[in-house]
């Protein structure tokens, strides 16, 4: 899979040099490219935003630098001959549809090239959304300062599902899972020491069943300690 992220703040994506994204790239399972939208500005000040027509608060990302950035990444999308259904262009936006685990699973299987435009400032020229974007995506019912964090969340949720990125398939499967209207929360987990004593003298212990070595009973305990929660 290839992921291109168009942003005004490329330095934010230092995260991709750590953890799961780093592992995915090192194994050659994904190629992540951060595109600085200011490189496609048409003036010496590297301007990418301007005041909205008709008045209003804040500044809008302009259509020209986004168009040029997209065309440098996927020129075929601007050709009448383009028929690649495995490329998807997303715009991060508070007004977008909420991203779900099922989306991550679908993209992992069906999308080869993901392009994410990070919204910022007051918004973006609507012509970008109407003509270049396949879908607007939100990661929650709240407003963030920009689309960089959502872009990282979306990317990470997909990357960790790619076979070979996380240690074993079981470590991905054996976690909180999501259904249409609910999620099944994974059982509690513990590691050494078996007893941790706080400075105040409080002994915090691992459940005895997990130390018993009785695998059948442990599996029953795990199953009984999963919880289904409505979304």
- The string of pLDDT tens digits covering residues 179-199 is 656 678 889 999 999 999 999
Backbone angles phi, psi at 187, to 5 degrees: -60, 155
Indicate if 210 and 152 belong to the same structural domain: no
**Average pLDDT over the chain, rounded to an integer:** 89
Indicate if 154 and 219 belong to the same structural domain: no
Q: Pick out the chain residues at pLDDT < 70.
A: 80-83, 167-182, 231
Task: Give me the pLDDT at residue 172, please.
Answer: 57
In the chain, the number of structural domains is 2
> Above pLDDT 90, what percent of the chain?
71
Beta strand 123-124 pairing with 60-61 = parallel
Letter string b/e over residues 35-52, b meaning 16 or more CB atoms within 10 A of that residue's CB: bbbbebbeeeeeebbeee
92 forms beta bridges with 118, 137
> Above pLDDT 70, what percent of the chain?
90
Indicate if 60 and 107 belong to the same structural domain: yes
Q: What three-state secondary structure class fits 54?
A: coil
Indicate if 122 and 191 belong to the same structural domain: no
Indicate if 184 and 147 belong to the same structural domain: no
CATH code for position 65: 3.40.1280.10
Boundary (domain end) residue, out of 118, 134, 159: 159
Indicate if 94 and 202 belong to the same structural domain: no
User: What tokens appear for 214 in the block?
Assistant: 């009785």
Letter string b/e over residues 57-72, b meaning 16 or more CB atoms within 10 A of that residue's CB: eebbbbbbbbbebbee
Q: Which domain holds residue 203?
A: 176-230
d(CA 95, CA 158): 21
CATH code for position 190: 1.10.1270
């Amino acid at each position: 899979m290839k992921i291109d992220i168009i942003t005004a703040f490329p330095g934010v994506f230092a995260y991709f040099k750590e953890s799961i994204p780093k592992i995915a790239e090192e194994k050659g399972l994904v190629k992540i490219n951060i595109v600085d939208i200011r490189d496609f500005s048409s003036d010496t000040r590297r301007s990418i935003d301007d005041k909205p027509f008709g008045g209003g608060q804040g500044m809008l990302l302009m259509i020209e630098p986004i168009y040029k950035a997209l065309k440098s990444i996927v020129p075929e999308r601007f050709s009448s001959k383009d028929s690649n259904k495995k490329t998807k262009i997303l715009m991060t936006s508070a007004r977008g549809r909420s991203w779900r685990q099922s989306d991550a699973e679908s993209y992992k299987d069906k999308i080869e090239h993901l392009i994410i435009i990070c919204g910022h400032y007051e918004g973006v020229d609507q012509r970008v959304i109407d003509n270049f974007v396949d879908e607007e995506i939100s990661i929650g019912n709240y407003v963030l300062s920009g689309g960089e964090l959502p872009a990282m969340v979306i990317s990470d949720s997909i990357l960790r599902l790619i076979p070979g990125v996380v240690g074993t398939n079981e470590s991905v499967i054996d976690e909180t899972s999501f259904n249409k209207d609910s999620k099944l929360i994974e059982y509690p987990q513990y590691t050494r020491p078996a007893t941790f004593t706080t400075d105040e003298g409080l002994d915090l212990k691992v459940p005895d069943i997990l130390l018993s070595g009785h695998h059948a009973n442990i599996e029953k305990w795990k199953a009984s300690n999963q919880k289904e929660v409505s979304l």
